Amino acid sequence: MKILLIGSGGREHALAISLFKSPRLSSLFIAPGNPGTAQLGTNVAIQDTDISGLLAFAVETQIDLTIVGPEAPLAAGISDLFIEAGLAIVGPTQIGAQLESSKAWSKAMMLKAGIPTASYGEFTDHVSAITFIEDAPLFPIVVKADGLAAGKGVTVATDKAMALNALNDCFVNDVFSGAGQKVIIESFLKGEEASIFAFCDGKSFKPMLAAQDHKAIFDGDKGPNTGGMGAYCPAPIVTPAIAKMVNEQVFEPLLAQFKAEGIHYCGIIYAGLMIDGNDVNVVEFNARFGDPETQIVLPHLKTDLIDVFEAMVQGRLSEIELEWLPGAAVCVVMASEGYPGSYAKGRVITGVDSVTGNPYVVHAGTKRDDNQLLTSGGRVLAVVGQGDDIASAIDSAYKGVDCISFEGAQFRRDIGAKASKWLNRSL
C-alpha cells in the first residue's frame, strides 16, 4: 500500500515507525518529513498546510491512503478536499476538526453532549473579558485562546494580574496570531491530567492505552507550558474503572452528538482528561494524535496500524480487535535553549547515532546540513525507552538522553516519576 503521511514533527516520525513495521506497506511518503522519517520513507518537499499541493501529489503518485498528523491542515479542510477527489484519508473534515481548532465550538459540543467539563465563559472583546476577570470570585482560573496556538495558548492564572496579562497577550499583543481574538475563561479543575486517544470511523470508536504528558518546561511541573516535555504509557492513574467511565461519559456521547448533527468524524479523537479520584472531566479535545504521547502509545500496539486506518476509512472499525503489547514506554523530550520562548537554531547535535534499539530516538525539530544533524525547532527530539515496567522504561530513556548533546539542551529529569504514587513504589 502506498501511504502519504503529512507532517514533520515527532508525532509523524513515531507514526512512520509504526507504519514501517507493516508488511502491507509498499511505499511511504512523508510531507515534508524530517531526518528521522527520511530513514523510513521518502520525504517530499511540500508543507503540511499546502493542501492543494498535497492533493496534487497524492493524485499523481496514486496514493492509496493519506494520514494527517498535525492539526493545521485539518483545520484548513484537507480531508474535505481529498474526500471530494475520491481519495482515502484519515482525519476529520473541517467541521469536525473544530473539536480542536475552536475551543468555543468544542465546549459547546461538550455541553450539548452532556460531557463533564469545566464551567466557562466565551469572550470576543477585551473589555467584557476584563470585567469577567475583575469579578472572578476565585483563583486560579484558566484563560484559553480559542484557536490553534501550538499547545501554548493556555494560561492557568493564579491571580488577577496573571489573568489580565493573558488577556493582553490574546487581544492586544496578538501573541497567538489571531487565535486569541476569541477567548475562553474556565473554572480551574483540580486533579491530575491524563490522555486517551481513540480511533473513530464515524460509527464506532476504539480507545487506545492511556498516557500521561508533562507539559511544563521544568521538573516538578514548574514554569510555562510547552507542547509537551515527555510522556509515559500506560498511565496507572487511569484504572479500568476510569477507562470505562471515559468510554461511557466522553467518547460515546461525543460520537452520538456528532451523529445527531450529521458530522461524519473519521480520525483520531484525543481526550485530555483531568482526574480527581473518581471524578473525570474533559480539559480539551484534540482532533489528531498527541505529541509526545504518540511516541509511547503506538509502540504498544500489536495490531497492524495500516489495518486499523484502512478499517476506519472503510467504516468497519468495529470489526477490528486492537491487541496491545505488555510493558511500559517513556519518552523524554530534549528541547532548545529558551524554549518555549524564542530559541536559537542550527546547533550541532551529537550522539544520536549511538542510540538504537532500546532506547531509540524520535526526531522532531531537526534538520541535516553538510552531513551534520542540527537543531531546527523548539522540541528537538525525544528519546523513547521501553521496559517491563515504568521504572525500567525510565532508566532506558535517560540512558539514551545522556548519550546525546547539543548546546543549550534542556530536558526534564522527572518524566514518569509521578506514576510512583499510583504504583505504590518508588521509581
Residues in the chain: 427
Structural domain including 137 reads 125-181
Any domain includes 105:
no
CA distances (Å), origin 111, targets 107, 153, 163, 181, 286 = 6, 22, 24, 22, 16
Any domain includes 217:
yes
CA-based nearest residue to 274, from 256, 292, 250: 250
Domain boundary among 319, 346, 368: 319
User: What was the pLDDT predicted at 61?
Assistant: 98
Any domain includes 200:
yes
Structural domains counted in the chain: 4
CA dihedral 306, 312, 313, 318 (to 10 degrees): 120
158 shares its domain with 204: no
Give the bridge partners for 276, in sequence order. 279
User: What was the pLDDT predicted at 149?
Assistant: 79
User: What was the pLDDT predicted at 324?
Assistant: 98
Domain boundary among 258, 292, 319: 319
User: What was the pLDDT predicted at 219?
Assistant: 96
Q: How far apart are CA 43 and CA 72, in angstroms?
A: 19
171 shares its domain with 251: no
282 shares its domain with 218: yes
Supply the CATH number for residue 144's domain.
Answer: 3.30.1490.20
Task: Report helix, strand or coil for 193.
Answer: strand
Any domain includes 120:
no
pLDDT tens for each residue of the chain, 427 residues long: 999 999 999 999 999 999 999 999 999 999 999 999 999 999 999 999 999 999 999 999 999 999 999 999 999 999 999 999 999 999 999 999 999 999 999 999 999 999 999 999 999 889 888 998 888 878 999 999 888 877 678 888 899 899 898 898 888 888 888 777 888 899 999 999 999 999 999 999 999 999 999 999 999 999 988 989 999 999 999 999 999 999 999 999 999 999 999 999 999 999 999 999 989 999 999 999 999 999 999 999 999 999 999 999 999 999 999 999 999 999 999 999 999 999 999 999 999 999 999 999 999 999 999 889 999 999 999 999 999 999 999 999 999 999 999 999 999 999 999 887 777 643 4
Supply the CATH number for residue 254's domain.
Answer: 3.30.470.20
Contact by Cβ (8 Å): 404, 362: no
CA-based nearest residue to 402, from 351, 361, 364, 353: 351
User: What was the pLDDT predicted at 427?
Assistant: 41
The CA-CA-CA angle for residues 332, 221, 234, to 5°, reads: 50
